[in-house]
Structures are given as C-alpha cells and as structure tokens.
C-alpha cells in the first residue's frame, strides 16, 4: 500500500515537472516567435505610419522585454533598426526601461553605437555643422553661451549627443551628465582640438590636440554627411512623412565660467534653460 502511494506521488511529481517544462518551453517559443514576427513585419514596412503602429504594439506587448527587442538591432536587420531609430528619434518612446536599455546598448555594443551615430548624422544633415559650430562660439556676457540643443526632447538630445561624441572620437562619455552638462562636455572637447580626421578602419574620427592651430569651427573640416540612413544601406529611403520635422531647435544656456586653456578634461558647471 505504501509502495503504491509512493509511486503515485512520484508519478504526480514527474507529470507536474513535465507540465512545468512544457509551459516554460511554450513561453520561450511563443516570445521568440512573437519578436520574430514584429522584426519580419518591420523589415517589410514601407512607411513610418505602418512602422509606428507595429513598434507601438511590440514595445507594449506584455510578453516582450526591452532586451528581447533591442537584441535584434544591428546589421542583420537594417530595416528594423532604421524604423526603431526613427521611432525613438521622433519622440514616440515613453518607456523609461526602453530608454535605459538602449543607453546601455550604446555603451556596450559598438555596432549599435556606430549605426546610431551614423543615423544621427544623417538625420541632422548639414545642420550638424551649425550645431557644433555654435558650441565652439566664444563666451558671451557672464561667461554664458546660448547654444541650440540637438532636440526639443532632452532625453533624445542626450542620445543624439552620445552618437555625435562617439563619431568625434571622444574616448569615454560620463553617462550621468545632464543634458546641459553634456553640451558643455561636447563644447570643451571641440575647443581642445587642433584637428579632426576620419578613420575608415574605426568608422569614426580621431582628434588631434597638439601641433596645429586650434580648430575654429567644425564646418571647416568639411566632413561628408551620410546620404543614407545606415551604413551599407542599398534600398531607397522609405516614406518618412509623419515624422515630426526638426527644422527648429530649443536653445539652452551653458555656463563656462573658467577661461578655457585647452586642458582636457576640465571640471565644469552647466545650467540648462528654455529660451
């Protein structure tokens, strides 16, 4: 009698364990199929409105985590990567977890940082010259400099600056800086340069800080602006109607109270204000 009871308990435990394994495997397969479905649909999307709806569904799907979505960014899924960048850059991502995960991805994944930096330069176009030239302007009264920010949304402005800083060859960027402080960080790096050359092997620039007259303006370097949104892009650029235009930029005041002498880096303070 006891033996039968023991066998029944053992059989119950085995069946329960098997059922648990089935549930876990089903959940894993379901999530993998779900993300592949969205990646496939976005790789085939032709307009921003179509991509916007799909990304909204994917980013709000309870079964999908930010990491499960972001791990598909990169060279194998250029169209998906392009639409995610457009969705993020247009201010549609309101999830703090998505923004934090993307920031971590930029810090740890060189391919994604390269793609994001390339996309930001393409998105800004020739306006990147005036934005960076403005950061290199001389101090005004009270050692304050009014500069145009890289986006009206401060979080997106920071992400854009990370892309630009990486492209300019900055060795490392403090991630905890505020938006205004990041503008000042970028300003001081530019003012410390004597020259800037593009390195094809690294897909970014190398800054020189000695041996030449100080760099006066970024635009004088005449670095080409990407004509396509991502490296190796061979298709036509999809319909981007519906993405908010970026023809105007918010102005912020950065305070550089010390006379800058080319020593890099230097301690600083910054006070962002709406203009």
Angle between helices 154-167 and 110-124 (to 10 degrees): 110
Of the candidates 273, 274, 226, the residue with the CA atom closest to the CA atom of residue 85: 226
Tokens for 188, please give them.
């001081």
User: Which of the residue ranges 17-21, 226-230, 249-253 has the most confident prediction, judged by mean pLDDT?
Assistant: 226-230
Helix (H, G, I), strand (E, B) or coil at 21: helix
231: DSSP letter: T
- Find the mean pLDDT for residues 169-193: 78
- Find the mean pLDDT for residues 132-157: 75
Average pLDDT along the chain: 77
Sign of the CA dihedral 94, 98, 104, 107? Answer: negative
Q: Answer yes or no: is pLDDT of 115 > 90.
A: yes
Q: Answer yes or no: is pLDDT of 264 > 50.
A: no
Q: Answer yes or no: is pLDDT of 274 > 80.
A: no
- More confidently predicted of 140 and 117: 117
Q: Answer yes or no: is pLDDT of 20 > 60.
A: no
Total-model pTM: 0.79
Q: Answer yes or no: is pLDDT of 24 > 60.
A: no
Can you tell me the distance from the alpha carbon of 91 to that of 50, in angstroms, rounded to the nearest whole number? 16
Can you tell me the distance from the alpha carbon of 227 to that of 232, in angstroms, rounded to the nearest whole number? 11
pLDDT at res. 139? 59
Of the candidates 244, 223, 252, the residue with the CA atom closest to the CA atom of residue 122: 223
Q: Answer yes or no: is pLDDT of 248 > 50.
A: yes
Q: Answer yes or no: is pLDDT of 169 > 80.
A: yes
Can you tell me the distance from the alpha carbon of 258 to that of 264, in angstroms, rounded to the nearest whole number? 13
Rounded to the nearest angstrom, the gap between the alpha carbon of residue 110 and the centroid of all alpha carbons in its chain is: 12
What residue spans of 96-223 are helical by DSSP H? 96-108, 110-124, 127-135, 154-167, 179-191
Can you tell me the distance from the alpha carbon of 79 to that of 237, in angstroms, rounded to the nearest whole number? 10
pLDDT at res. 13? 52
pLDDT at res. 85? 94
pLDDT at res. 265? 43
């Amino acid at each position: 009698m006891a033996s039968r009871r023991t066998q029944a308990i053992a059989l119950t435990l085995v069946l329960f364990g098997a059922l648990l394994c089935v549930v876990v495997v089903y959940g894993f397969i379901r999530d993998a199929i779900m993300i592949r479905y969205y990646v496939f649909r976005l790789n085939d999307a032709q307009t921003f409105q179509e991509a916007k709806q799909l990304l909204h569904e994917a980013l709000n799907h309870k079964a999908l985590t930010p990491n499960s979505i972001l791990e598909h960014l990169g060279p194998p899924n250029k169209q998906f990567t392009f639409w995610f960048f457009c969705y993020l850059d247009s201010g549609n991502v309101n999830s703090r977890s998505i923004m934090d995960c993307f920031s971590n991805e930029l810090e740890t994944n060189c391919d994604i940082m390269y793609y994001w930096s390339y996309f930001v330069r393409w998105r800004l176009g020739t306006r990147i010259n005036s934005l960076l030239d403005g950061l290199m302007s001389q101090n005004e009264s009270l050692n304050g400099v009014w500069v145009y920010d890289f986006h009206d949304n401060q979080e997106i402005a920071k992400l854009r600056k990370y892309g630009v800083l990486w492209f300019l060859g900055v060795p490392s960027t403090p991630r905890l800086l505020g938006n205004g402080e990041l503008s000042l960080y970028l300003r001081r790096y530019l003012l410390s340069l004597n020259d800037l050359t593009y390195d094809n092997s690294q897909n970014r620039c190398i800054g020189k800080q000695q041996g030449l007259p100080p760099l006066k303006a970024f635009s004088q370097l005449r670095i080409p602006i990407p004509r396509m949104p991502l490296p190796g892009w061979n298709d036509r650029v999809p319909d981007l109607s519906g993405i908010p235009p970026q023809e105007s930029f918010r102005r912020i005041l950065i305070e550089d109270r010390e006379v800058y002498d080319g020593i890099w880096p230097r301690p600083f303070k910054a006070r962002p204000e709406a203009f």
